[in-house]
Amino acid sequence: MSVQTTERVKLVDPRDAHAKPPFKNQSPIEMPGHTAQMDPVPDHGEQSYRGSGKLNGLSALVTGGDSGIGRAIALCYAREGANVAINYLSESDDAQQTAELVKEAGANAVVLPGDLRDESFCERLVDDAFDQLGAIDILVNNAAYQQTREEIDDWSTETFDRIFKTNVYATFWLCRAAMKRLPPGGSIINTASIQGYDPSAYLLPYSATKSALLGMTKGLAKLGSKHGVRVNAVAPGPVWTPLIPGTMPQDHLQNFGADTLFQRPAQPIELAPLYVWLASPDASYVTAEVFGCTGGKTPV
């Protein structure tokens, strides 16, 4: 058998692949955040990701798809041949930019704004995505909300409730609605977090929601298996997204990600290929799993 001679893949030193702290003071970013205001601007794979048809003809609904990990997922899915419905809360400029990236890849893009804390909206979101794309083969529950506080007395019930409604209730509502639409071979992918295993005190409610998603992922996988639907999760460590300057004080922000083995945070594009693989037929025997991408910060 002859072996084709091809150009050697260029290896990248992960220590120096992307920006490292200390980061500059960021201009105050009101949640849900604005990508263009960040310095450096996150890398979603605009210049680097090349698809190979892993998701040709499939359709995906991605929550929190306007920026950060969600934008990188939408971009990679589109370049792999999938049509993408992008849900976001209120940052329409970022959402439109993501939609343009999807369209430039030759895929259909649907933009569906709305508040995931509303049960009826979650149900409509799944229906609208299905109607406009013609199918839902992949659901990515990526949207999340967090706030930081230094003492437990600083957490209001209103804030606690908002974090749980966005991160946990919405995931349940969307999964319940999508399970009626997903075909055998379809998949649900939840964005968990290192915080579900190694919680930071100043992120107490957020950490609790991510622990809840671990259990929901594994439990739902058992229900999904009856329908041929796979359910998995990705647990990121520190990732450079608008959620960070939008919610963290400057003293946390300047050294964000410095405590990983690579001494830097991940960029969104460094996680998105995991979501591609989990959604593809290549991962046909993978369900009820949580895949860490933490820069070696902790085993997941």
206 is catalytic: yes
Choose, from 88, 145, 197, 206, the residue flagged as catalytic.
206
- 81: region left, alpha or beta (phi > 0 left; psi from -120 to 50 alpha): left
- 114: region left, alpha or beta (phi > 0 left; psi from -120 to 50 alpha): left
User: By C-alpha distance, which of 183, 168, 162, 204 is closest to 279?
Assistant: 183
| Residues β-bridged to residue 187 | 138, 230
Which residues have C-beta within 8 Å of that of residue 29, sequence separation ≥ 6?
37, 38, 242, 245, 246
Query: What DSSP designation does 14 have?
Result: T
**What's the count of helices (H) and strands (E) in the chain, helices before strands?**
9, 7
Q: Is 249 exposed, middle or buried (0-12, 13-18, 19+ CB in 10 A)?
A: exposed
User: By C-alpha distance, which of 86, 88, 89, 131 is closest to 109?
Assistant: 86
Q: Please name the helix (run of DSSP H) or strand (run of DSSP E) that holds residue 84, with its range, or none.
A: strand 83-88
Query: What DSSP designation does 266 have?
Result: B
Which residues are designated catalytic?
206
